[in-house]
């Protein structure tokens, strides 16, 4: 069982299981939970395992984890609580402890504390977290960590192996109006998390290169999803549009 395996690394798992006048304009079209909730509704199954890679303050977690709880599943959070390099929130290792404490408090107090047995946390980087998750154990994997091109590329490749055959790999910050495509944006955009003119160009490039726009389904909140296959003769994952017939 994945849970048993994770509990062997108490230095990584934080104690969530088993206690386990300023006007601000918010772009509601870019709230990831709106898309992730539809993805779970479309493809969630009983006792599913959902992984969220990059949780920031846990806003998406607090909205989606109750859905997973109702399905009798587990919700794996991966976050290093240090911010993002070259983007908001700015990289600041000194904020790790306070950010971590704020998230664990939310898990213990919000929703009446009912998420403590559903949510487990890997307090580390997205790449390092892969070492603690067995291959083909995740039903839905939502990537929303470092949005720079190489980081997204690595997350897509690494976590594709963690998703079950015919499972769903999905992510954030790819609007259909700026859909996945190779060499659509200037390459100087790829070194920043969010370019002031071109936005999350690194996400579009990485998704286009690895998955292909034809294999992507777009969801509200600038979310995208693809279905992962594990039938490549070389042992590499391949991808299909989630609405394509399941083989």
Q: What is the pLDDT of residues 31-69, one digit of tens each?
A: 999 999 999 999 999 999 999 999 999 999 999 999 999
**Does the pLDDT of residue 2 top 70, yes or no?**
no
- Tell me if the bond preceding 81 is cis, omega within 30° of 0: no
Q: What is the pLDDT of residue 7?
A: 33
Q: What is the pLDDT of residue 233?
A: 72
Give, in order, the Cα–Cα distances in Å from 52 to each of 24, 62, 197: 27, 11, 27
List Cβ neighbours of 234 (8 Å cut-off, separation of 6 or more): none
Query: Closest by alpha carbon to 172, among 134, 220, 222?
Result: 222
Q: What is the pLDDT of residues 142-166, one digit of tens each?
A: 999 999 999 999 999 999 999 999 9
Q: What is the pLDDT of residues 92-109, one digit of tens each?
A: 889 999 999 999 999 999
Q: What is the pLDDT of residues 181-211, one digit of tens each?
A: 667 788 888 888 877 777 888 999 999 999 9
Token pair for residue 63? 């909205």
Of the chain, the percentage scoring pLDDT greater than 70 comes to 83
Q: What span, in angstroms and rounded, lies between the C-alpha atoms of 58 and 69?
A: 16
Scanning 79-167, the segments in alpha helix (DSSP H) are 96-109, 126-129, 149-162
With cut-offs at 50, 70 and 90, classify the pLDDT of residue 28. Answer: very low
Pairing relationship of beta strands 49-53 and 238-240 according to DSSP bridges: unpaired
Q: What span, in angstroms and rounded, lies between the C-alpha atoms of 221 and 233?
A: 35
Residue 127 backbone phi and psi in degrees, to 5: -70, -45
Query: In terms of residues, how long is the chain?
Result: 247
Mean pLDDT, the chain, integer: 85
Q: What is the pLDDT of residue 26?
A: 36
Q: What is the pLDDT of residues 128-146, one digit of tens each?
A: 999 999 999 999 999 999 9
């Amino acid at each position: 069982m994945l849970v048993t395996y994770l509990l062997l690394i108490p230095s990584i798992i934080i104690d969530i299981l088993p206690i386990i006048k300023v006007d601000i304009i918010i772009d509601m079209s870019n709230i990831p939970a709106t898309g992730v909730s539809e993805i779970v509704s479309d493809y969630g199954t009983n006792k599913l395992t959902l992984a969220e890679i990059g949780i920031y303050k846990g806003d998406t977690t607090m909205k989606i984890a109750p859905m997973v709880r109702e399905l009798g599943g587990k919700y794996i959070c991966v976050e290093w609580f240090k911010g993002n390099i070259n983007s908001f929130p700015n990289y600041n290792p000194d904020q790790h402890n306070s950010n971590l404490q704020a998230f664990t408090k939310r898990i213990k107090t919000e929703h009446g504390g009912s998420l403590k047995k559903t949510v487990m946390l890997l307090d580390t980087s997205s790449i390092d977290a892969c070492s603690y998750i067995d291959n083909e154990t995740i039903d839905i994997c939502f990537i929303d960590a470092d949005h720079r091109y190489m980081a997204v590329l690595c997350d897509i490749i690494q976590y594709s192996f963690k998703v079950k055959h015919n499972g769903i790999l999905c992510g954030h910050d790819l609007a259909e109006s700026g859909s996945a495509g190779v060499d659509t944006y200037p390459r100087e955009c790829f070194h920043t998390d969010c370019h002031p003119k071109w936005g999350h160009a690194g996400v579009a490039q990485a998704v286009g290169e690895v998955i292909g726009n034809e294999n992507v389904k777009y969801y509200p909140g600038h979310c995208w999803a693809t279905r992962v296959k594990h039938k490549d003769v070389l042992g590499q994952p391949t991808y299909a549009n989630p609405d394509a017939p399941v083989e």
